[in-house]
Homo-oligomer: A and B are copies of this chain.
Amino acid sequence: MSATARVEAFSDGVFAIAITLLILDLHVPDATPAGTLAGALAHQWPSYVAYVMSFSVILVMWVNHHRIFSLLSRADHPLLYWNGLLLMLISIVPFPTALLAKYPGTRLAAGIYAAHGLLIALAFTALWRYAIRGGHLLHPHHDRAEVARMSRQYRYGPLAYLAACLLVFVHPYATIALCLALALFFAFRGFVVKD
């Protein structure tokens, strides 16, 4: 068992890279003649929506990761792997994002995006459950009310993304709308709620 500093440093690196790599999927369009540049830029609006949505998701995930580790004082071997599973799913985010940007109207791309969100939510819940199990990783003087509040919140994430998955049978845009609403809701909520 060891302190959590290096796990956080490695995780911060992966979060920072995944969130910054998203921009590589925003390509400068080929516009000839140059007069059509505005149209070409406007035409790739799904890329901008996908970019903002995925950036918001990763940012909210980073804040949540930060909150979990601020409650821990130790990291054991399995925690490194639960964390690694979460990081793998976070670093995959550019792929479903690029898929959605390229095929925005399709059921498959929307479904994969929402299903990936569901996997991330489940991995977060698993990391959290492992972290608080037994209590030997938590700070000796951790805030019990905060732990209880976070446990409650982690129940809703998977349910919301499960709903987004199911909405794909209604319409792909319904799935995207819910994913976007979730990402922006949590991001904008972060600007005002001080919990």
Residue-wise, chain A 63-83 has the 8 Å CB interface mask toward B (1 for contact) of 100100110000011101110
Question: What are 20 pairs between A and B in contact, CB < 8 Å?
Answer: A2-B70, A8-B9, A10-B15, A13-B15, A13-B16, A13-B17, A14-B16, A16-B16, A20-B91, A23-B91, A23-B92, A31-B103, A34-B105, A37-B108, A37-B109, A41-B108, A59-B84, A63-B77, A78-B192, A78-B194
A103 adjacent to B16 (CB under 8 Å)? no
Copies of this protein in the assembly total 4
Question: Is A28 a contact of B106 with CB atoms below 8 Å?
Answer: no
Q: Which residues of A (1-58) have their CB < 8 Å from a CB of B?
A: 1-2, 6, 8-10, 12-24, 26, 28, 31, 34, 37-38, 41, 52, 55
Q: How many of chain A's residues touch chain B, expressed as a range?
A: 35 or more
Minimal beta-carbon separation of A114 from chain B (angstroms): 15
Q: Which one of A94-102, A151-159, A162-170, A175-183 is at the interface?
A: A94-102
Please state if B16 and A94 are interface contacts (CB–CB under 8 Å): no
Interface of A is mostly: helix
Tell me if A81 and B187 are in contact (CB < 8 A). Answer: yes
Q: Is the CB of B103 within 8 A of A34?
A: yes
